[in-house]
Structure 1
């Protein structure tokens, strides 16, 4: 199954806080679970979640059956509002070796 790195890059993303002025943190941690269930509904498994500092607010490492499932999951989350994303396809070491061997 392909692996993906999803970077939430918008400071308006409401998980765990909304830097556009929301300082109410009550219930924010439950949003992680709701987003995870949303991804799961599209066949995407969240493997790791990290709150980060710097350019991006969060990084999610996930797994999807194919690129189409990942795209659908991301677009579904974007449609709910408040986020922008940057998604990268990650290749496993074995996949990387196969690519190199095919050259």
Structure 2
């Protein structure tokens, strides 16, 4: 979780989606681990958080954390957050309802 949250995601939600899809393809077992994520993500986190002791994360939690982090960065502006995430405002609202964060 820390790895996904700490990475800046310059490609926004599309880059996150690609990283998660890649991770699912490469994962062993039923949990997504940092070793399944792209090297760019792994290296960024290793440079900024050298402890390396992170727990596996669910896709649901990764998406939730990215959305909440983006909302925080935009001061709660849902239209701006949706634009940064590359999704519609309605999709953002639906996801927030799913997370009970509206």
**TM-score greater than 0.5 by the shorter chain:** no
Q: Which one has the largest radius of gyration?
A: 1
Of Structure 1 and Structure 2, which has the larger fraction of its residues in strand?
A: 1
Of Structure 1 and Structure 2, which has the larger fraction of its residues in helix?
A: 2
Higher relative CO (CA 8 A, sep ≥ 6), structure 1 or 2?
Answer: 1
TM-score (normalizing by structure 1): 0.31
TM-score (normalizing by structure 2): 0.31
